[in-house]
Structure 1
Amino acid sequence: MRIRDRRAEDIPEINLVPLIDVILVLIIFFVVTTTFDTRSTLKLELPRADARPADSEQPALSVLVNAEGRYFIDDREALRTDVEAIKSTILEVAGGDRERPVLLRADARTPHQAVVTAMDALGQLGFRRISIATAPEAGAPVVQDPAQ
């Protein structure tokens, strides 16, 4: 009679379930304890706005840029769209008053370069009190000027 040895038939195996459990616990530990760096690479100081309009005795110089990129200073149109033509039109309308406030109105579909060109012309002439006109969002409360 032949006696079999049962130990010789056993094939050794590695149970991976405990190993996976340990690795999963380590991953969770590292994710929870990791600090995320949320600092921005750019340092910005955001502008502040007051909801009340500024009191001004003199009327603002109106610079309008339409959707096609054409410039209108008060009621006069600049014949060309280069900086020199815009500067000469501003000089004709505003004269030598550089302390006069400027209200820059641009259509929402206006190319960005057209607005930058207008601001460049105003800056070269020495205007420093430039405001950009915006429209309130739909549903936003409208702030009334108490002087009116």
Structure 2
Amino acid sequence: MRIQDHRAFDEPDINLVPLIDVILVLIIFFVVTTTFDARSVLKLQLPTAQGETNDANKALSVLVNADGRYFVDDREVLRDDLESLKATLADVGGDDRDRPVLLRADARTPHQAVVTAYDALGQLGFKRVMIATAPQADGGGEGGP
């Protein structure tokens, strides 16, 4: 009687479950640690104007999107009321009230949201407020009715 050894027929295989687990953890790690640029997230359609551009690299950036939501530098203001905007501006802006402020509002933003931003900046004592515009397209002709 011949006794066969079944171990010789066992072929080694690679278990893919731990490999998938490691790859999933790496993907989660890279997604969480990736920094996102606020300008690429918000799609603003700036109003147009003629004039020169200002270099506002050190300016405090206040963005108002088309829905009337506020963003101060990298931070989103959670509520749309004046007090929340003032608290975020004071926190991000610090004590330097001579710092220029660049207000970027979408062309479709409700007028009240822009007025609220100006009001909050004025109440906090910011005096150098600039509004961002896009250069006018070379369509010729001046103004409208």
Query: TM-score band, normalised by the shorter chain?
Result: 0.5 to 0.7
- Give the TM-score normalised by the residue count of structure 1: 0.57
Deviation per residue, 1:60-86 (Å, 9 max, x gap) = 000000000000000101111111000
Deviation at 1:55, TM superposition (A): 6.2
What is the CA RMSD across the aligned residues, in angstroms?
A: 2.2
SS at match of 1:121: helix
| Amino acid paired to 1:91 | A
Q: Is the 8 A contact 2:50 2:135 kept in 1?
A: no
Change (3 A) 1:64 1:55: closer
Change (3 A) 1:135 1:51: same
Q: Which residue of 1 aligns with 2:91?
A: 92
- Give the TM-score normalised by the residue count of structure 2: 0.58
Identity in percent: 68
Greater gyration radius: 1
| Amino acid paired to 1:119 | Y
Deviation per residue, 1:111-130 (Å, 9 max, x gap) = 00000000000000000000
What pairs with 1:1-148 in structure 2 (closer than 5 Å)? 51-54=51-54, 59-139=58-138
- Greater RCO between the two (CA within 8 Å, min separation 6)? 2
Deviation per residue, 1:3-54 (Å, 9 max, x gap) = xxxxxxxxxxxxxxxxxxxxxxxxxxxxxxxxxxxxxxxxxxxxxx994445
| Amino acid paired to 1:71 | Y
Change (3 A) 1:139 1:55: closer
Deviation per residue, 1:86-144 (Å, 9 max, x gap) = 0000111111010000000000000000000000000000000000111112117xxxx
| Amino acid paired to 1:92 | D
Q: Which runs of 5+ in 1 are unaligned?
A: 1-48, 141-148
| Amino acid paired to 1:64 | L
| Amino acid paired to 1:126 | G
| Amino acid paired to 1:129 | R
How many residues are matched? 92
| Amino acid paired to 2:59 | A
